[in-house]
A = this chain, B = another copy of it.
Amino acid sequence: MIVVRTIAELRAALAPRRNGTIGFVPTMGALHEGHATLLRAARAADDAVVMSIFVNPTQFNEQADLAAYPRTEAADLALAEAEGMDVVFAPDIAEMYPAGFATTVSVTGPIAETLEGAERGRGHFDGVATVVTKLLLAALPDRAYFGAKDAQQVAVIRRFVADLGLPVEIVVCPTSRDADGLARSSRNTRLSAEERTRALAIPRALEAVKDAAAEGVAHTGALRARAVAKLEAAGIRSEYLAFVDPETFAPAAVVEGPVLVAIAARVGTTRLIDNIVIGGA
């Protein structure tokens, strides 16, 4: 496995591998089993696989959150090697944003401005779109892999990739969950044992919505009440609990096609997000 720090080195490392397909897994490091499922999906599908580690400052709305973001590069590289990565691209900030950098890729509309966009500020998805565009252009992969847990990030990425015509297939892997159902996240380690137990109300709320939808409940107001009951039973008040079109993020009043059910909630001081899609095509 080769570790490279510059875009020029990345391109040089990938150049001899372009006779086959290239899979790319962009990460912010602090890897866990959820990331490993993405690495395995890429390893299984592509001839050469590259992972990036870059904690992107422009997508953090709070400097404290950025400063507190876990950096675990040695462990991340060990996992990448164990999962069969060929190349790891781990640039520093000056490589990605050299002096004079002045370009932003933005997606407008509900897809970028509601839910996470509203909670984390307008700049969050601008930061994501800009850095992912730059990473995709640096690696020029055939496929790039993202987790369904970040559903809105996926929708934003699909949008600008389609709009700009970036020559890459976006592959979305199912949310990876612990045995108890909690969606895997770097933030889960911050939960106390008691908080961890309470946090399970989040996947249970989503399951309750799924079950009710399967029983024929179609109005999202009624489905929402089922989820709220589960969350309230655990003393959790959501930041949002939304039923939206998975592509446009327009609110859905009735389940007539695929509807993304997305939750963000703080358990103690830890902010967690999770989602499922119901009414699938």
Contacts from A to B (Cβ < 8 Å): 7, 100-109, 111-112, 129-130, 133-134, 137-138, 140, 159-160, 163-167, 248
Contacts and interface: CB of A to CB of B under 8 A. Distances in A.
A7 B167 CA distance: 11
Contacts of A103: 105-108, 129, 159-160, 163-164
A111 B106 contact: no
Contacts of A102: 107-109, 111-112, 159, 163
A108 B104 contact: yes
Given A103-B107, A104-B105, A140 B163 contact: no
B107 A105 contact: no
A111 B137 CA distance: 23
A167 B105 contact: no
Contact of A165 (B7, B109, B167, B248): B7
Given A100-B159, A104-B108, 11 more contacts: A101-B163, A102-B107, A103-B105, A103-B107, A103-B159, A104-B105, A104-B106, A105-B164, A134-B165, A137-B164, A140-B167
Closest 4 CB pairs of A and B: A103-B163, A103-B160, A137-B165, A104-B106
A166 B160 CA distance: 15
Instruction: Give the copy number.
Output: 2
Nearest to A137: B165
23 contacts: A7-B165, A100-B159, A100-B248, A101-B163, A102-B111, A103-B105, A103-B106, A103-B108, A103-B129, A103-B164, A104-B106, A104-B108, A105-B164, A130-B164, A133-B164, A134-B163, A134-B164, A134-B165, A137-B164, A137-B166, A137-B167, A138-B165, A140-B167
A243 to B, nearest CB: 20
A105 B105 CA distance: 5
Contacts of A112: 102
Contacts of A107: 102-103
Nearest to A106: B104
Contacts of A159: 100, 102-103
A117 B138 CA distance: 29
Interface centre among A130, A138, A165, A167 (most CB of B within 10 A): A165
Contacts of A167: 137, 140
Nearest to A163: B103
